[in-house]
Structure 1
Amino acid sequence: MNINSQSQTPLVSIITPTYNRPDYLKQALKSAISQTYQNIEIIVSDNCSPENPQAIVESFNDPRIRFSRNETNLGMLPNTIKAFKMARGKYVAALLDDDLWEEDFLAKLVPPLEANPNLVLAFCDHYVINADGTIDYELTEHCSQLFKRAELPEGIYQPFYKLGLVDQAVASAMAAVIRKDVIDWDSIPPEVGGSWDVYLTYLCCRTGMGAYYYPQKLTRYRRHDQTETMQSGRLNYQAKIRKSQADMFCLEIFMQDENLQEFKTYFQQQWVKVSTSLGIGLMRSEQTKQARPYLWRSLRQQLNLRTIAALMLSFTPPKIAAKF
């Protein structure tokens, strides 16, 4: 395949939802237009940022970029789904406004999909970078090991329920190319929130089609204070609550899916951890009464010292419980 010939290659839609990250957005778009795979469209959906990034988009003077700005802030998930639904390509890939791609990301992942129509997605490994863009090699290796990509052989995995939902090796939000038409983009419920990438992987698994793994680090995931992962730490309890609610919603769907019964025990264990995290998040927001049902439900599923301690503290004055 001659990847420089647009007439011989399918259109790939690059989805870039953005909000209030002008500097990072500029870097993300630069990595998109620098792809050696040329037949692309780049959909930038701005979620009513305080500073309109249209001038940044137009500075690239690239007709492949399509810009849309919401009149009001729709929320992260609706803005993301809106961008996916705008896509005209055979394939879609999410490049979030704070992440980066290596220039051969699409060139390496599109050909396997073209060669095998029974593949729903192709994915790769990724680097972890700091706010300033420097690679954190230690954390990169840790993530590769944690998510079971470090020793994963190149090739096709079908089915890939375990790989996608238990090992969580598939990073749909920044390191995968997906066959667009196999997903019903209207079927993604609002409750998945910030866990939309996990739910998208679930929908891909449910097709029964395969996943192709290319064992190189072709994308760069940026860790910084504004990411949902970082915000869901101890100090930002509202982000912790949102993340836990989204994760619980997904886990409850996974536990009910007949195709996932062999992994039900794993999902139940994860549900207990997340339910406890949600209870602790509510305690830190001084909502002790609202926290207790989640802690009780966690204990009914599994005895855990962290959960027991949190439950006991939930009966203390809210300002004391909030220090947990």
Structure 2
Amino acid sequence: MSITFESLQPLVSVIIPTYNRPEYLKQAIASAVHQTYQNIEIIVSDNCSDVNPQPIIESFNDARIRFWRHPENIGMLSNQMNAFKMARGKYVASLHDDDMWNEDFLAKLVPILTANQKLVLVFSDQYIIDGNGNINYVGTEENTRGFKRDILASGIHQDFTKIGLIDKSIPTAASCLIRNHVINWDSIPQAVGGMWDLYLTYLCSISGYSAYYYPERLTRYRAHEQTDTMLSGSKNAAAKIRKAQSEIFCYKIFMEDSRLQEFHDYFHSKWLDAHTTLGIGLLRNKQITAARPYLWQAIRKQKLNLRTLVALVLGFTPPPLANQLLGVLK
């Protein structure tokens, strides 16, 4: 059997959705362009940014970059999926427009996926950086421990449902290389919203393939005030509502999947927690009547939860006092 260049150097599609982050975008593209693994296409999908980033694209003068600009904002998820659907590579990797890769990210992960046809994905650990690109070493260690990658065995994981959906060890959106043909990108519903990466992990986990953990930190995830993760953990009501709605949808799918019944109680608990979060978000958005059913649902179907109980009481508290007390609820 002859060995072709394609088998040795399969095409990798690097997916970079972007919106209104020109300086970060330039750094993200640079980290893709400078990969030591060269057989790549870089797909930049712009969600109708206020300023067209085409000059940034052209400044690289790199034929491997494919640029698409939507004439109107189609939403974060649609922009992300548009880029995935454009991918022609055997493998795909998502690179957020505010994150960066080490230059050997692909060089270290591609050979692993190529050598084992039973793998659907390979993932690495990551650094946490601030808005200026400086590594937050304390935050990095906390991130690694928080997602249990510090105790996760390197190598192949045949059943990775627990590490993917419970421990959330797999950073699908930032530090992961995926076998493209396994995923039907049209099967990811709009309702997953900002939880698309967890839903993608779900699709990979039920695919019948295995996952591989490469324990080195090969990417740089930027934690700053513009990220939805930061916003949803703050007092930003809209971000909290978006996140909770996505979680309710995803965890309902997970707990109804007969293949995942081992973890049904966990998914049910997270589903109820998301009802409380949505209720709190709606209260902060002064949608009192809309908030109450979600809080009632949560309090009826779970053991006494102080967070839910307080939120429900505030739903019947005069607005001036309720607004003051809402600040203590996350």
**TM tier, smaller:** over 0.9
* Structure 1 gap segments, 5+ residues each: none
What is the identity, as a one-letter code, of the residue corresponding to 1:307? T
Structure 2 residues not aligned, in runs of 5+: none
Task: Determine helix, strand or coil for the equivalent of 2:177.
Answer: strand
Report the alpha carbon displacement of residue 152 of structure 1 after superposing the two structures with TM.
1.4
Q: SS at the partner of 2:274?
A: helix
The residue number in structure 1 matching 2:254 is 254
The root-mean-square deviation of aligned C-alpha atoms, in Å, is 1.1
Cross-structure match for 1:309: 310
Cα offset, 1:320, TM superposition: 3.3
Matched residue, 1:320 = 321
User: How many angstroms apart in 2 are the aligned matches of 1:321 and 1:220?
Assistant: 40
Does residue 278 (structure 1) correspond to residue 287 (structure 2)? The answer is no
Structure 1 residue 318: Cα displacement = 3.3
**Helix, strand or coil: the match of 1:126?**
strand
Partner of 2:48: 48
The 8 Å contact of residues 285 and 322 in structure 1, kept in 2 or not, is answered as: no
Q: Deviations over 1:73-106 (max 9, x none)?
A: 0100000000000000000000010000011111
The corresponding residue for 1:293 is 293
User: Distance between the aligned counterparts of 2:157 and 2:83, measured in 1?
Assistant: 28
1:232 shift after superposition: 1.1
In the other structure, the counterpart of 1:145 is 145
Q: Distance in 1 between the 2:48 and 2:313 partners?
A: 43
| Alignment partner of 1:90 is 2:82 | no
CA contact (8 A) 1:288 1:321 kept: no
Aligned to 2:67: 67
In the TM superposition, residue 112 of structure 1 has moved relative to its aligned partner by: 1.0
**Count of equivalent residues:** 320
Aligned partners of 1:15 and 1:83 also within 8 Å: yes
Rounded Cα–Cα distance in structure 1 between residues aligned with 2:102 and 2:277: 35
Is the deviation greater in 234-243 or in 211-220? 234-243
Q: Give the counterpart letter for 1:28 in structure 2.
A: A
Q: Does the aligned pair in 2 maintain the 1:126–1:218 contact within 8 Å?
A: yes
Q: 1:147·1:169 contact (CA, 8 Å) conserved in 2?
A: yes
Q: Is the partner of 1:322 in helix, strand or coil?
A: helix
After superposition, the C-alpha distances for 1:40-71 in whole angstroms (9 at most, x for unaligned) are 00000000001000000110000000001000
Tell me the equivalent position of 1:80. 80
- Per the alignment, in what secondary structure is the counterpart of residue 289 of structure 2? helix
User: Percent of aligned pairs with the same residue?
Assistant: 60
Tell me the TM-score normalized by structure 1. Answer: 0.97
Please show how residues 189-208 of structure 1 align to structure 2 within 5 Å. Answer: 189-208=189-208
Q: Does residue 25 of structure 2 align to residue 25 of structure 1? A: yes
Structure 1 SS opposite 2:123: strand
Paired with 2:61 and 2:54, the residues of 1 have a C-alpha distance of: 11
Aligned twin of 2:109: 109
Q: Report whether the alignment pairs 1:236 with 2:214.
A: no
How far is the alpha carbon of 1:249 from its aligned partner?
0.6
